[in-house]
Structure 1
Amino acid sequence: MNRQRNRGRVTVAVLAAMCAAAVLPGQAHAAGPGVYAFDPDAKNVQGAATNVEASTLDEGVPYRSTIKPGEKLYYRVTLDDASAAYVSAVAVPGDGGAVAFGDGITVSLRETDDTQCDRGRASFGSGAYARPVTAYASRTIKEGGSTCQEGGPYDVLVERESKATSSQEPWDLELRFLQEPKLRSGTSMPTEAPGSWPSASAKPLTGKQQKRSGGSGFSEATGLENGRWQDTVAPGQTRFFRVPVDWGQQIHATAGLSNTTSATKEFVGSALTLSLVNPAQGPVADAMLSYSGGPASASLRPLPPVAYRNRFDTSSQVSAMRFAGWYYLSVSLSPKLKESYGAEPIPFELSVQVKNQAEESPYEGDAGVFGVTDQDREVARKGPGPATTSTGTATFGGGPGRVRRTGGWGAACCTGGAGTGGNCWCCWCCWAV
């Protein structure tokens, strides 16, 4: 779970020898509608029909699996006796696969005697079109708790529900298991939910709009800071972004879909979905907008500042704002727009505001993914940008610390350099995979 650190440097000449093929500038986000970029480090794992045959998921390692309609698949994790734990599953239906209201996945964490610790569910809701959705389950250490408090093996059960009218093709899964860092010695944390918090909507931003392209998956999410960001999204496509949100900070986000130049004014319900996901890839909140060819926008409901005590709230949206780190924003456009407005991408604006000064972390040592560093803030400030290479200048969008790779080689960008779209640019980079 620890943050990846630089493990050495290689020269341009060495990288040039390793990069047998290079993409052209502008191809960093060439993935078509419906294509999800799985973590390039993900290991294949097969779910089991019985818990005693379940494969073990290692902490901090991404995994890739599949699930069929109606399947109940077991995986296994080993927990300590002191840390909060999280297991998430991103469900990725096939490109264009039909889904219905209520289709989705459920993730539950259980003791080996089937005692349930927690469960989480993700569905497509009224925006019933195929797109990546995520769910997670957790184990919280509670003073005086009687279940799920011991260290040892635990079962992870992932279940898929699909209507008979929905596509019966298998869905891909991206799985992760994380444990929260231990609290500082002597730290006394609240054990009750917040009584109140600032719940007013943020005022619209008026600053200059900037262009920044989103990625095609969580591992390729583009860093953002406060501002108005412009991108395009095609019918059936999802764009991923990430925003550093520290302890005590409050995030606000709005997505505005541009008008179309088409003469068509046909109404499409739930045309765009804006989703927020926390650092453990647990769902926080969604907002949807309908479309009739004119400008339309949707905002996430006001959420509480990041606080340890949020985990004790009965509201899943409040509870999910329980730790600092990278929070993920995704923008999905319904494939139904293609019928009325064509297949061309439509411009949208993503407005992001993170308020309040950062507060001190409650953890002992490195917070890993559950913290925000100065480097994270710099990534959010710069976002994808030009990288000087041995053959010219390229644009990268994977963001420092995570890029696509070819032939078993991968490099992560520090102050420059990149590799995306399954190929690499030959440039100054540092190893981080």
Structure 2
Amino acid sequence: MLSAESAQHISQRQKPQAIQPQSPPATTWRLTTALLAFLTILALLPTLAVNANAEDNKDNNDSADQRVAGDYDSAGTPVQLADNAADGFYLGEGLYQSFLPSPRDSVKDGDDKWFNISIPEGKKARISVNAAPRGFEDEDTHYYGTRVEYTNDSCSDEGGGSSSTTSWPDPPEGESVTIDPEDGCDPTKYRVKINGAGTQFDSELPVEIVIGFEPQVDGSEAGPKNDREVPEGEDRDKVKVPSSEPKPTPGGTSYNKATEITPGTVSDTLVPGETKFYRMNVDWGQRPLAEVEFDKKQTDSYRSGQVFVASPRRTHTSYSNAESLDDDIPVTARAVSTPYVFYRNREGSTSQDEATDAGQWYVMVTLDGGDENGKQDKDIEFRLSTALDGDKVDGPEWRQTLEPGLAPSAEPSSDNDGGAGNSNANPDVRAENIDNAPQNNTILLIGLGLLAIVLIIVVAVFVAARRN
């Protein structure tokens, strides 16, 4: 028999011991911590980039009130114009850009330059050419303009020849011709001649060329006649242009880069010698109205503002007086004289023949600073309100495409479609989204998603480490 003391000793010695959990090795913890830090930084990079971009934008905005007027920035397919009609390239439908020799002096145009077009069967050509201002190279006032004419090698069909000039920062005005092929004329042999007009320069004059092939229409397809009168005199002063809360919307730097808007109010800024370009869709039976309010100026120097409206052919159809800005109160300028847009305005008086194209119309806002144009200065904010007046009516569906034209070619296209295959693939061309907020939001969401994945990975590593 064991003594009570011996039995107690054996019982204590044989009692199983509880298994204590082991801590993960120190190496595992170090690896987990390093992985967590690396993945967290990786996930936060997009968010940090957004914040850095926001700070950059803030710095830019803080310094944006001291800047120099932006240059006229053209767009379109480049084309080398020929010295004679026989060597001209064929151009299709769309936007082109090129250069013209400088006018020899104020009364003599520059040398002739040529391109060719082949007009598709059942269509007519609508061609517009405008000079692209070159900014302020010196203190002299320069005038820019073009002259457009056409001929046909196979017949006596010819036309055009008028020209007009404008002085920057007033927006350039297009000179246009319409070629409706005559019977017996080869539609593949139309030669278009253009010249630079206005002030003589030491270098070439940039130009923009707009070409459209419009279907020929007659009868009911042309829509009704224009029976609407545009208010004049005191009645014009009563025309209302509704305004709304301004939406910050940077204007474009040329016709070809105009920012598309819809009726309402947008805001942007100008410095002396600068013009901002917008465009809006105008349908048959409507007419565009524009009103701009300029903030008070912060200088004793001369400042004046204007607003212009131009057709898809880039013809000025309405513009305000040059309104002198005030240093105490905002100043308003209005352009409300554009005729109602009807196809059959082409049959009416000359006062209506500038409003014969539905489609994208242009609204331009300018700031003139006299001798201080093109020099660094403070921004002046403007608020542009636009509206459409008149009920829609029937009319042709065709609209001028705002896409770059096809590459120039030495011969007309084999199917003689004038390069117009994509002319109406997207007639309501939309401007690029100028607001980068959605992009920043996307980056932010990606960053948050990566961070969530990191947390899941860290938890998984931690659990695995504990099990080991």
User: Is 2:340 the partner of 1:305?
Assistant: yes
Equivalent of 2:148 in 92, 99, 107: 107
Deviation per CA, 1:397-418, whole angstroms, max 9, x where unpaired? Answer: xxxxxxxxxxxxxxxxxxxxxx
Matches of 1:177 and 1:296, distance apart in 2:
38
Change (3 A) 1:288 1:150: farther
Matches of 1:308 and 1:65, distance apart in 2:
32
Shift in Å at residue 280 of structure 1? Answer: 3.8
Shift in Å at residue 342 of structure 1? Answer: 6.0
Query: 1:356-367 to 2 correspondence within 5 Å?
Result: 356-363=390-397, 367=399
Asked whether the 8 Å contact 2:157–2:182 carries over to 1, the reply is: no
Change (3 A) 1:211 1:103: closer
Q: Which shifted more, 101-110 or 84-93?
A: 101-110
User: Is 2:159 the partner of 1:117?
Assistant: yes
1:277 maps to a residue whose letter is A
Matches of 2:100 and 2:254, distance apart in 1:
17
Shift in Å at residue 115 of structure 1? Answer: 4.9
User: Is 2:271 the partner of 1:234?
Assistant: yes
Deviation per CA, 1:231-281, whole angstroms, max 9, x where unpaired? Answer: 11111222111111111112111233221122x1x445xx33422222244
Q: Kindly, what percent of the aligned residue pairs are identical?
A: 18
Asked whether the 8 Å contact 2:174–2:313 carries over to 1, the reply is: no
User: Is 2:159 the partner of 1:159?
Assistant: no
Structure 2: which 5+ residue stretches go unaligned?
Answer: 1-51, 104-109, 403-422, 446-468
Shift in Å at residue 372 of structure 1? Answer: 11
Structure 1: which 5+ residue stretches go unaligned?
Answer: 1-22, 394-433
Q: Which shifted more, 346-355 or 111-120?
A: 111-120
Equivalent position SS for 1:320: coil
Matches of 2:196 and 2:156, distance apart in 1:
18
Change (3 A) 1:181 1:168: same
- Tell me the residue number matched to 1:174: 208
Matches of 2:90 and 2:331, distance apart in 1:
45
Asked whether the 8 Å contact 1:247–1:324 carries over to 2, the reply is: yes
Matches of 1:148 and 1:103, distance apart in 2:
37
- Tell me the residue number matched to 2:240: 203
Matches of 2:360 and 2:267, distance apart in 1:
20
Shift in Å at residue 189 of structure 1? Answer: 3.3
1:170 maps to a residue whose letter is E
Asked whether the 8 Å contact 2:171–2:364 carries over to 1, the reply is: no
Q: Provide the TM-score with structure 1 as the length reference.
A: 0.68
User: Is 2:169 the partner of 1:134?
Assistant: no
Q: Provide the TM-score with structure 2 as the length reference.
A: 0.63
Shift in Å at residue 214 of structure 1? Answer: 0.8
User: Is 2:281 the partner of 1:244?
Assistant: yes
Asked whether the 8 Å contact 1:272–1:332 carries over to 2, the reply is: yes
- Tell me the residue number matched to 2:71: 35
Change (3 A) 1:310 1:386: farther
Matches of 2:289 and 2:173, distance apart in 1:
20
Matches of 2:95 and 2:294, distance apart in 1:
36
Matches of 2:380 and 2:196, distance apart in 1:
32
Matches of 2:322 and 2:243, distance apart in 1:
22
Matches of 1:352 and 1:233, distance apart in 2:
18
Change (3 A) 1:340 1:209: same
- Tell me the residue number matched to 1:412: none
Change (3 A) 1:221 1:77: same
- Tell me the residue number matched to 2:126: 86
Matches of 1:283 and 1:148, distance apart in 2:
35
- Tell me the residue number matched to 1:75: 115
1 or 2, which has the higher helix percentage?
A: 2
Matches of 2:335 and 2:226, distance apart in 1:
20
Matches of 1:372 and 1:77, distance apart in 2:
19
User: Is 2:311 the partner of 1:278?
Assistant: yes
Asked whether the 8 Å contact 2:343–2:395 carries over to 1, the reply is: no
1:306 maps to a residue whose letter is V
Matches of 1:331 and 1:59, distance apart in 2:
28
Equivalent position SS for 2:173: strand
Change (3 A) 1:234 1:110: farther
Matches of 2:96 and 2:134, distance apart in 1:
20
Shift in Å at residue 322 of structure 1? Answer: 1.1
Asked whether the 8 Å contact 1:90–1:134 carries over to 2, the reply is: yes
Asked whether the 8 Å contact 1:289–1:296 carries over to 2, the reply is: no
Matches of 2:190 and 2:176, distance apart in 1:
12
Change (3 A) 1:179 1:339: closer
Matches of 1:229 and 1:281, distance apart in 2:
22
Asked whether the 8 Å contact 2:150–2:160 carries over to 1, the reply is: yes
- Tell me the residue number matched to 2:135: 95
Mark the structure with the bigger radius of gyration: 2
Matches of 2:378 and 2:336, distance apart in 1:
30
Shift in Å at residue 207 of structure 1? Answer: 3.4
Equivalenced residue count is 349
Deviation per CA, 1:44-82, whole angstroms, max 9, x where unpaired? Answer: 222223222222212225333343222322221112353
Asked whether the 8 Å contact 1:76–1:154 carries over to 2, the reply is: yes
Change (3 A) 1:169 1:91: same
Q: Which shifted more, 49-58 or 115-124?
A: 115-124
- Tell me the residue number matched to 2:10: none
Change (3 A) 1:338 1:122: same
- Tell me the residue number matched to 1:328: 362
Equivalent of 2:324 in 287, 291, 303: 291
Equivalent position SS for 2:174: strand
Matches of 1:206 and 1:281, distance apart in 2:
25
User: Is 2:438 the partner of 1:387?
Assistant: yes
1:358 maps to a residue whose letter is K
